[in-house]
Structure 1
Amino acid sequence: MTRRRDFLALALASAASAAGFRPAVAQGATSLDRIKRSGRFRIGVTSAEPWFFKDPMAGTWSGVGIDLGTALAGELGVTMVPVETSWANCVAAIQADQIDVMFVLDPTEERRKAIDFPDAPLFYYAAGALVRPDQTATAWSDLDKPGTRIGVTLGTSVDRMVTETLKSASVSRFANNDEAVAAFAAKRVDAVAQFHPALVVQYARLKLGKVILMKPVTPVATSAGIRRDADPAFRTWLGERFATLYAAGKPQESFASYLRTRGIDPATVPGLVREKWV
C-alpha cells in the first residue's frame, strides 16, 4: 500500500511537470534562491491539529507548523504563504514546485527517494491510539485482533506503521485526522491511530474515549520535506535552523500555546521534547 501511494505521488509529480509546473532546479536556481527572489515562503498545510488548523469563518491558518513557517520566513525576510495540500499528495506538490516545504513530514525511506530532508529533526512525537474508555490495550499487539477496526490518516507514517504491524485487525484509511476521529465518534472504527499530539487535541474536542501511548514508547523524529536541489544550501540552512529552534524549545512553546487555545493544560500531556519523556 505504501509503495503504491509513493508511486502515485511520483506519477502525479511527473504529470505536473509535463503540464508546466517546473521545479526550481530545472530553472537553474536553488530553492533558497527562488524563495528570496520571489519574496514568498510557501508551506504546505492540511487539516491536522495541532500542526495546522484553518478557522472556518476567517479562513486563516494557525498551529505549530504555521508558527514555524512564519518564524523562518521572517528570518529570510519574506512572506509565509500557506498552500493547501494533503499528506498523501504533498510529495508530488513539493516536486512540482507548488510548495517549498511541508513541515511535520517524517523522512521515510520511500519519501527520501523522491524528495530531500534536513539532517536535524524538527521535534519528536510517538504513536498512540484513541480508544474506548473500557479498552485495556497498552500495546499494538493488544489491538491486533480479528474484528477490531483501526482508523488511520491516509499517507502518514502511522498509516504505514499500522499497515506493516497489524495483520489481523481491519485498517480503515481517511483523508485527514478529523475524518478518522469522526468515524471513531460514529463508532465506525474502534480506535484511531495517530501521533500523540494530534490525538490529545482531538480528545479534548471530542471528550470521548482515552489516549494511550502504545508501549514500547518509541520517539519518532519528524522533519520537513523539501525539493532535492543540486546545491544543498536550503537543506543546510533548514537543518541549522531546526537544531537551533529545538534547542531553544520553540516547537514545544508553539505546541503549548496551541494547546491552551483548546483548553488543554500543556503540563498534563507529553510534549515534543523526547528528553523530557523519561
Structure 2
Amino acid sequence: MDAARRTFCAAGGLLLAGCASSRPDARAAARAELGATGKLRAAINFGNPILASKDAAGEPRGVSVDLAREAGRRLDLPVELVLFNSAGNVVEAVKARQVDLAFVAIDPVRAADMEYTAPYVIIEGAYLVRNGSPLQRNEDVDRPGTRVAVGRGSAYDLFLTRELKSAALVRAPTSPEVTNLFLAQNLEVAAGVKQQLEADAKRVGGVRLLPGRFMVIEQAMGVPKGRVASQAWLSGFIEEMKASGFVAESLRKHGIEGAGVAPADGRNRR
C-alpha cells in the first residue's frame, strides 16, 4: 500500500473499514469468523416488515435477505437463513452465538453483546391510538395512566424503557402482536414500526396514528461481541451497499415505502 493510500485510509473510521474490507487478508479473517460452521448463519426477523417478510410461497424476502445473500456471495460462503419473529429472540441468538450475522436496530443495551456496522436503513417509530383518544401529539403519551403496548425486546421497548417517565409499558410477545394486544386489553397506545401500525390501522379500523414519530430507528448489521474482523469487513461492505444503490434498489424491489437509506457514516458503532 503506497503512502497516499495509507493517508486516505487513515482519514476516518468509514475509510478504514472500507480499505480493510478490500484487502484479501481482511476478507479471509472475516470469512473465518462468519463461516466458522462452514456456512453463514444469518438471522432474519419477520417481526419488522421493513426488513423481511414472506412471499406468496412462504419464502423469506426483503432487504435483510438480499444483504445476507450478497455478503455470503462475496465471502464465498453458503447462507443459512435462520428465521425469527421478534428482535428480542434475534438478540438472544446472537448472544448465544447461534447465528453469525443479524439485522437489528442500534441500541446501547444491545451493544454489550454485539458489534455493529453503521446503519444501512433508517425507519420511524410511531404511536397508534383509538380515534376517540384525547392524545393528539407524541408528547402527550408520557403521562400517568397511559399504558403503551410494545413488542418485547424490540428497539421501541428498549428506547421507551429509558425515555418514558410516567406511562407504563405492556409488552407483547412480538412486535406484530402489538396492535392485537392494544385492542384486547383496551390499552391507550400501541408503539412500533410506523409501516406496521399503518397496515394494522387499515386492518382493524377505528384507530389513528399520532402525527410524526417518537424515535428514529437505525437498522444495522450485527455480529457477536468480539468478532472485530467480521465487524470491520461488514462495515466496508455495508457502506458499499449503500453507495452503490444496492440498498435503495432492494427497498424499491420489495415495495417498501417510508424507510430511507442511511447516509454514509464513518463512526464505528459497537
Shorter-chain TM-score range? 0.7 to 0.9
Tell me the residue number matched to 1:174. Answer: 172
Q: Residues 105 and 217 of structure 2 are in contact (CA less than 8 Å); yes or no, is this contact kept in structure 1? A: no
AA at the equivalent of 1:103: F
Q: Residues 176 and 196 of structure 2 are in contact (CA less than 8 Å); yes or no, is this contact kept in structure 1? A: no
Tell me the residue number matched to 2:52. Answer: 52
Count matched residues. Answer: 234
Tell me the residue number matched to 1:255. Answer: 251
Give, in whole Å, the separation in 2 of the partners of 1:220 and 1:82.
Answer: 23
AA at the equivalent of 1:100: D
TM-score normalized by the length of structure 2: 0.72
Q: Does residue 155 of the first structure (1) align with residue 177 of the second (2)?
A: no
For the pair shown, the structure with the greater C-alpha radius of gyration is 2
Give, in whole Å, the separation in 1 of the partners of 2:210 and 2:252.
Answer: 19
Counting strand residues as a fraction of each chain, which structure ranks higher? 2
Post-superposition Cα deviations, 1:29-73, rounded to whole Å, max 9, x if no partner, equal 965214446552211133312323246x84422223222212222
How far residue 155 of structure 1 moved from its aligned partner, in angstroms, is: 0.8
How far residue 187 of structure 1 moved from its aligned partner, in angstroms, is: 5.7
Match of 2:238 among 242, 258, 276: 242
User: Which is worse superposed, 219-228 or 181-190?
Assistant: 181-190
SS of 2:254's equivalent in the other structure is: helix
Post-superposition Cα deviations, 1:88-120, rounded to whole Å, max 9, x if no partner, equal 2333322332101110332x22222222112x2
Q: Does residue 192 of the first structure (1) align with residue 199 of the second (2)?
A: no
Q: Residues 149 and 190 of structure 1 are in contact (CA less than 8 Å); yes or no, is this contact kept in structure 2? A: yes
Give, in whole Å, the separation in 1 of the partners of 2:244 and 2:226.
Answer: 28
Tell me the residue number matched to 1:271. Answer: 259
Instruction: Report 1:1-278 matches (<5 A).
Output: 32-36=31-35, 38-48=37-47, 49-54=49-54, 58-85=57-84, 86-106=86-106, 108-118=107-117, 120-135=118-133, 137=135, 139-186=137-184, 188-206=186-204, 209-212=207-210, 214=212, 219-229=216-226, 232-259=228-255, 266=257, 270-273=258-261
Runs of 4+ deviating beyond 6 Å: none
Per the alignment, do residues 193 and 58 of structure 1 end up closer, same or farther by CA in structure 2, a change over 3 Å counting?
same
How far residue 240 of structure 1 moved from its aligned partner, in angstroms, is: 1.0
AA at the equivalent of 2:252: A
Q: Residues 115 and 225 of structure 2 are in contact (CA less than 8 Å); yes or no, is this contact kept in structure 1? A: yes
SS of 2:88's equivalent in the other structure is: coil
AA at the equivalent of 1:63: G
Identity rate, percent: 25
Q: Residues 141 and 166 of structure 1 are in contact (CA less than 8 Å); yes or no, is this contact kept in structure 2? A: no
Q: Residues 44 and 81 of structure 2 are in contact (CA less than 8 Å); yes or no, is this contact kept in structure 1? A: yes
CA RMSD of superposed structures (Å): 3.0
Post-superposition Cα deviations, 1:171-204, rounded to whole Å, max 9, x if no partner, equal 2101111211222344633321113244344445
How far residue 207 of structure 1 moved from its aligned partner, in angstroms, is: 5.2
Give, in whole Å, the separation in 2 of the partners of 1:163 and 1:258.
Answer: 32
Q: Residues 52 and 61 of structure 1 are in contact (CA less than 8 Å); yes or no, is this contact kept in structure 2? A: yes
AA at the equivalent of 1:247: A
Give, in whole Å, the separation in 1 of the partners of 2:260 and 2:53.
Answer: 18
Per the alignment, do residues 213 and 121 of structure 1 end up closer, same or farther by CA in structure 2, a change over 3 Å counting?
farther
Q: Residues 54 and 61 of structure 1 are in contact (CA less than 8 Å); yes or no, is this contact kept in structure 2? A: yes
Q: Residues 241 and 247 of structure 2 are in contact (CA less than 8 Å); yes or no, is this contact kept in structure 1? A: yes
Q: Residues 145 and 169 of structure 1 are in contact (CA less than 8 Å); yes or no, is this contact kept in structure 2? A: yes
Gaps of at least 5 residues in structure 2 are: 1-27, 264-270
Give, in whole Å, the separation in 2 of the partners of 1:142 and 1:209.
Answer: 17
SS of 2:98's equivalent in the other structure is: coil
Gaps of at least 5 residues in structure 1 are: 1-28, 261-265
Post-superposition Cα deviations, 1:106-154, rounded to whole Å, max 9, x if no partner, equal 2x22222222112x22221222112223446454331123333211011
Per the alignment, do residues 238 and 136 of structure 1 end up closer, same or farther by CA in structure 2, a change over 3 Å counting?
farther
SS of 1:161's equivalent in the other structure is: helix
SS of 2:64's equivalent in the other structure is: helix
Per the alignment, do residues 190 and 228 of structure 1 end up closer, same or farther by CA in structure 2, a change over 3 Å counting?
same
